Amino acid sequence: MSYKAEYIWIDGTLPTAKLRSKTKIVETGAEPPLWGFDGSSTNQADGRSSDCVLKPVFTCPDPLRGGADALVLCEVLDTDLSPHASNTRAELREVAERFAAQEPLFGIEQEYTFFRGSRPLGFPENGFPAPQGGYYCGVGADEIFGREVVEAHLDNCLKAGLGLSGINAEVMPGQWEFQVGPLGPLQVADQLWVARWLLYRTAEDFGVSATLDPKPAKGDWNGAGAHTNFSTRRMREGYEAIVAACEALGEGDKPLTHVRAYGAGVESRLTGAHETAPWDEYSYGVSDRGASVRIPWQVEKDGKGYIEDRRPNANVDPYVVTRLMVDTCCAALEKAGLD
Ligand code: ADP
Ligand code: MN
Ligand code: MN
Ligand code: MN
């Protein structure tokens, strides 16, 4: 007896990595073993020494195949079993371990856009749909495009046991969001990558593609982000740590260091319009959807909770944004005795 294990990994495509996967038949009862692939076809090796290693790090039920079949998210290693240059998870592992005692949690809001052919779903063959206004959390065939795909994706994520906390229709037609978390840094990032893979895979069956392009339609249309909500135990207990985390993100070269790692094309989305702050100006504020970092009104009212970094692009690497936020905020909280 055997089961099908779909090995999923992140490739070396620049500036934005792509997901890849292939199937291994594994004996029932056995854990998915180390495996390999041709790195010269994924921008991870040259043809003369093309072997890369897949190391399973997160396994969950495969909701598409069902039964005992599994999805197996992997880290990519070199043949000496050290992390491959494209392996951003390995760097997060170290930082997450160093600050584990602060119990960081993340909730990431993944926005994305469906396309059929070269147009966003809901955009007519010629011209444009009615301007933004009615689509966000809308209802009805004149405003909603792709709900059947969204529902199937949500069901698949829940069947896989992923920690999704909600979905909603977004501001532009064909644009949607799902939220993963709150979860620890490695968990949220692993599960977001698997949820992205399930999004592409689910949409495939409907003849639709999904993109994380941060600015899928030029002009007066919202971009697509990945707002990253963050807290530590002390932030969940009091307001002083909330303010300290917001200040830490604004210190010295932190704003630019963060923004540059928040996804290719981030300047095209963080224009200062469409519910964004300009990419080169750091700010934070309560309820402010035009700030880089927002403190939700409920958090100010309760005097504790979490902050929302609104800058990350939809195409951000969750291993990178969580590492930077833990590194910047937890180090500052430690220094301030708020750890
Ligand atoms: P928005 O109003 O910005 O659209 P959402 O409801 O889409 O907010 O997303 C809020 C996110 O914040 C969710 O993913 C949720 O899991 C996350 N979240 C809630 N509490 C915390 C917390 N204490 N720490 C980190 N993330 C949190
Ligand atoms: Mn949201
Ligand atoms: Mn949103
Ligand atoms: Mn948000």
Residue 178 beta carbon below 6 angstroms from any ligand 1 atom? no
Quick one: DSSP state of residue 271? Answer: S
Q: Provide mean pLDDT across the span 122-140.
A: 89
Residue type, 33: P
Whole-number average pLDDT of the chain: 96
Which ligand 1 atom is the nearest neighbour of the CA of 180?
Answer: 14
Helix H or strand E encompassing 176: strand 175-183
284 contacts 249 by C-beta, under 8 angstroms:
yes
Question: Is the pLDDT at 116 greater than 80, yes or no?
Answer: yes
pTM to 2 decimal places: 0.97
How far apart CA 179 and CA 105 sit, in angstroms, is: 13
DSSP string computed for 178-204: EEEEEE-HHHHHHHHHHHHHHHHHHHH
Question: Is the pLDDT at 313 greater than 80, yes or no?
Answer: yes
- CATH top-level class of 2-86: alpha beta
Residue of 229, 308, 329 with the most ligand 1 atoms within 8 Å of its CB, for mutation: 229
| pLDDT tens-digit readout, 73-103 | 999 999 999 999 999 999 999 999 999 999 9
224 contacts 212 by C-beta, under 8 angstroms:
yes
Token digits for 17?
């990595």
Q: What is the pLDDT of residue 307?
A: 98
Q: What is the pLDDT of residue 79?
A: 94
Which ligand 1 atom is the nearest neighbour of the CA of 310?
Answer: 3
Ligand lying nearest the CA atom of residue 184 = 1
Domain ranges across the chain: 2-86, 95-335
Q: How far is the CA of 192 from the centre of ligand 4 (A)?
A: 16
Residue 227 beta carbon below 6 angstroms from any ligand 1 atom? yes
Does the domain spanning 95-335 belong to CATH 3.30.590.10? yes
Question: Is the pLDDT at 47 greater than 80, yes or no?
Answer: no
Which ligand 1 atom is the nearest neighbour of the CA of 168?
Answer: 7
How far apart CA 302 and CA 292 sit, in angstroms, is: 22
